[in-house]
Structure 1
Amino acid sequence: MEGGGGTLSEIHQSAKKLLLRSRDGLERLERLEYSAPAAAAVSGADSELSFAVKKDITQIQSLCVEMDRLWRSIAAKPQRDLWKRKVEQIAEEAESLRASLDKYNLRNQKRMREANERAELLGRANGDSAHVLRIYDEEAQALQSVRSSSQELENANALGEAILSSIHGQRERLKSAHRKALDILNTVGISNSVLRLIERRNRVDQWIKYAGMLLTVIFLLAFIMWRH
């Protein structure tokens, strides 16, 4: 089976490679998080890595949409069921990575708020926190830019999924209407055959009834004449 981005097997291999890269990137982020001081906020390099992982996960989900379209067109049911399980497994792993990345970003946002609050307290104490605040403001802006870019990717991916789902739904509705039309035609054909058979049976029954009545009359007449 082939799609716009290659065969089903090729797309599946690409998705698996992206999964491995995303998982490795997320593990690196978590190692950096726990090796740094507990209150340290995300750095510029960490922001870039977080954005790269998010981009890979979004691409995996797009590939899953494409694979979902391709496995449905496989004629053999055993192969279709096998690919369905494979695609569902990829989609579940991608969703798990996305949830882990979201939790990581939330933890970093919390650390940044705490760092900003401490910087504000230090500034009030000695009036020398402008430099620290500027650093954290720049990092906060970088993180906001990452979130904005990620949201745009998610919106584009959601739009693509909606279009593919709409096309698939229309195709399924057309197939269903075609099957119903064939069923109606078959039913009408069977009903006409049954009606013709009933009509023939009624005519035969009528002839048998009339023949029986005629024989009865003849028998009665013959019996009366014989008695006289």
Structure 2
Amino acid sequence: METAAESSGGRGSLSELYSSSKRLLLKTRESLERLERLEYTSSSSSFSSSSNVVPGNSDDQVTVIRRDINQIQSLGVDMDRLWRSIAAKSQRDLWKRKVEQVVEEAESFRASLDKYISRHQKRMQEAQERAELLGRANGESSHILRIFDEEAQAVQSVRNSSRMLEEAYATGIAVLSKYSEQRDHLKGAQRKALDVMNTLGLSNTLLRLIERRNRVDKWIKYVGMVFTVIIVIFFWRWTR
């Protein structure tokens, strides 16, 4: 008999999901640190040579970080469902603390990323204002403004793409959670039905027919999960 900590219905055990989330947390932390170092370098360059600065393109990094945070939160949803099914209270409390820690770290990373984007937009606005002042003095503002306009548009595009990707992930998480709940309900109903049929002495042929129907339902669930993942990937590629 599998315990809740050993099986999650196809996505890995609770321990495996936790290990995956910890690896993603480490990757996200390192990515945020690199992004902040790039921000510091860009800020230093802008002070030393404000008339020739072209801001670094960090759009792809922001998109990847937000995608990883969404994946961590998706794993958190699965783990939150699994630890509640553990019978032993001591183990259940232990996993509850671990899952809550993962969720809190993911939220902290999301807040840090949002703050970085806000600072980046503020720097872009200030740089644009400086470019306008310089343009009035030397008549070269058109080229500088074009550069910062393009960068501002790129930042806005990243925000729009990230928001769409986040919504797609949230939709996928909700669909997968519904499939999981339905599967649990069907398994419970199946067990009850099998108990009743065993009591009534129904034939093995009918039992095999029910098991075959259960396998078909499981394939339908898997096809739905794959279809959901394909839609998420399509949204992500389309918005890049």
Please indicate the TM-score interval, normalised by the length of the shorter structure: 0.5 to 0.7
8 Å CA contact retained: 2:42, 2:55: no
Say which is worse superposed, 29-38 or 2-11, in terms of deviation.
29-38
1:2 aligns with 2:14: no
The answer for the alignment partner of 1:76 in structure 2 is: 88
8 Å CA contact retained: 1:64, 1:87: yes
**TM-score, normalised by the number of residues in structure 1:** 0.67
**TM-score, normalised by the number of residues in structure 2:** 0.64
The answer for the alignment partner of 2:67 in structure 1 is: 55
Q: Secondary structure at 1:2's aligned position in 2? A: coil
Percent identity between matched residues is 61
2:118 and 2:54 mapped to 1: Cα distance? 11
The answer for the alignment partner of 1:43 in structure 2 is: 56
Q: Secondary structure at 2:40's aligned position in 1? A: helix
Q: Secondary structure at 2:85's aligned position in 1? A: coil
1:127 and 1:165 mapped to 2: Cα distance? 61
1:109 and 1:161 mapped to 2: Cα distance? 30
1:24 and 1:109 mapped to 2: Cα distance? 22
8 Å CA contact retained: 2:67, 2:166: no
The answer for the alignment partner of 1:141 in structure 2 is: 153
Q: Secondary structure at 2:20's aligned position in 1? A: helix
2:157 and 2:84 mapped to 1: Cα distance? 38
Change in Cα spacing, 1:70 to 1:135, as seen in structure 2 (3 Å) is same
Letter in 2 for 1:128: E
1:24 aligns with 2:39: no
CA deviation digits over 1:90-109, x for unaligned, max 9?
Answer: 00011111111111111110
1:14 aligns with 2:26: no
2:55 and 2:21 mapped to 1: Cα distance? 28
The answer for the alignment partner of 2:170 in structure 1 is: 158
Superposed CA RMSD in Å reads 2.6
Letter in 1 for 2:126: E
1:117 aligns with 2:129: yes
8 Å CA contact retained: 1:41, 1:109: no
Mapping for residues 62-211 of structure 1, pairs under 5 Å:
62-162=74-174, 164=177
Question: How much has 1:20 moved relative to structure 2?
Answer: 0.4
1:41 and 1:68 mapped to 2: Cα distance? 45
Structure 1: 5+ residue stretches without partners: 176-228
1:140 and 1:29 mapped to 2: Cα distance? 17
Question: How much has 1:160 moved relative to structure 2?
Answer: 4.2
8 Å CA contact retained: 1:22, 1:56: yes
8 Å CA contact retained: 1:41, 1:108: no
Letter in 2 for 1:139: E
Structure 2: 5+ residue stretches without partners: 1-5, 47-52, 189-240
1:78 and 1:122 mapped to 2: Cα distance? 66
Q: Secondary structure at 2:43's aligned position in 1? A: coil
Matched pairs, number: 171
